[in-house]
Amino acid sequence: DFSPQRHSFNDIRFKNLWPYLADALKKPRISLNDTYHLDPTIFLKVNFPILKMTTRDTQQYGEYNMSDEDCADKTEIRKELSSLSFEELQKLKEEMGTKLYNEAFYGKTRHRRKDFHRENKNRPREISSKKPAQELESSDIEPTKLRVDPRFGGLSGSFKCHSFARNYAFLSEIEKRELNDLKKKIKSASDPETKKELTRLLDSVQNKLSAQQKKRQEEMNHIKERQEQVNTLLAGKQPFFKKKSEQTKEHLVNKYSELKKSGKLENYIRKKRKRLASKQKKKFLTQ
């Protein structure tokens, strides 16, 4: 029943394959009745795995359960096919199709699985770009609202220290009253621990007030110098801008003069020398 005329195969190409077909028909993997409506190449492909083998697959005979007789059959078939002309092979390829032809005579191309290895174990794992990225899970958690104080926003303008000191000048008066109250409480306190805490608080308030006074004086000096430069420019003269070193010298002179008036100059110089000596000692020990 399985003849070349029935399945459009000519005798020239498959005249020597009938002995092998006869052996395959004894225990076929699929029935001939199932191949009447199929292409004959399917029958050959299923019952003749030897046709799918190549010389590169000699180490994989066990995959097809091939014996020595199958290897000999493969060699014999290859001899028969080698006798065909290029034109006959081309016609066979056209009838079978390029894909089936390559699978039958050269075997399926196996794509090696690429294993991505990290050069360094601390680096993130490399993922193939061919694999589609997973969609991120949508989170139902609402984002936290950012609370902004409008007083410090851009719509309220920039901070001006002089305007702030002018608008909140009453705070310094309140702090002075609190300072006088602390002095009275220290005089009337009998508990040494309470007196110590009040003294520490008094020192903190005094330092804060002195720092504010110092900063306010520096701002006033800056405003005064700026006004002098503007007046010189309006008079048609070239304004003079002091260097940083000159400003530092003037600041030190004003500071020493204020300390001398208050009688704290000697105490300040003694503490300054003590700090410098400790710095030099630390530097000498680290070398």
d(CA 75, CA 69): 10
Pick the closest to residue 107 from 40, 68, 59 (CA basis). Answer: 59
**Which of 57-61, 98-102, 109-113, 217-221 ranks highest by mean pLDDT?**
217-221
- According to the model, what pLDDT value does residue 231 have? 92
Q: What is the mean pLDDT of residues 100-114?
A: 65
249-271 pLDDT per residue, tens: 888 888 888 888 888 888 888 99
Residues 275, 266, 251: CA angle, nearest 5 degrees: 75
Give the list of residues 6+ apart from residue 256 with CB closer than 8 angstroms, or none.
Answer: 265
Backbone angles phi, psi at 163, to 5 degrees: -70, -35
One DSSP character per residue, 164-233 reads: HHHHTHHHHHHHHHHHHHHHHHHHH---HHHHHHHHHHHHHHHHHHHHHHHHHHHHHHHHHHHHHHHHHH
**CB 35: neighbour CB atoms within 10 A?**
20
Angle between helices 265-286 and 244-262 (to 10 degrees): 130
pLDDT > 90 fraction of the chain, expressed in percent and rounded: 5
The string of pLDDT tens digits covering residues 167-209 is 888 888 888 888 899 899 998 888 889 999 999 999 998 888 8
* d(C-alpha 163, C-alpha 182), whole Å: 29
DSSP string covering the chain, please? ---TTTTT--HHHHTTSHHHHHHHHHS-SS-GGGGTTS-HHHHHHHH-GGGG--GGGGGGGGGGT--HHHHHHHHHHHHHHHTS-HHHHHHHHHHH-HHHHHHHHH-PPPPPPPPP--SSTTSPPP--TTSPPPPPPPP-PPPPPPP--GGGSGGG----HHHHHHHTHHHHHHHHHHHHHHHHHHHH---HHHHHHHHHHHHHHHHHHHHHHHHHHHHHHHHHHHHHHHHHHHTTS------HHHHHHHHHHHHHHHHHHHT-HHHHHHHHHHHHHHHHHHHHHH-
Domain range list for the chain: 11-106, 161-241
Pick the range with the lowest mean pLDDT from 72-81, 95-104, 142-151.
72-81
**Distance in angstroms (rounded) separating the CA atoms of residues 40 and 7:** 7
User: Among 30-34, 118-122, 223-227, which range has the highest average pLDDT?
Assistant: 223-227
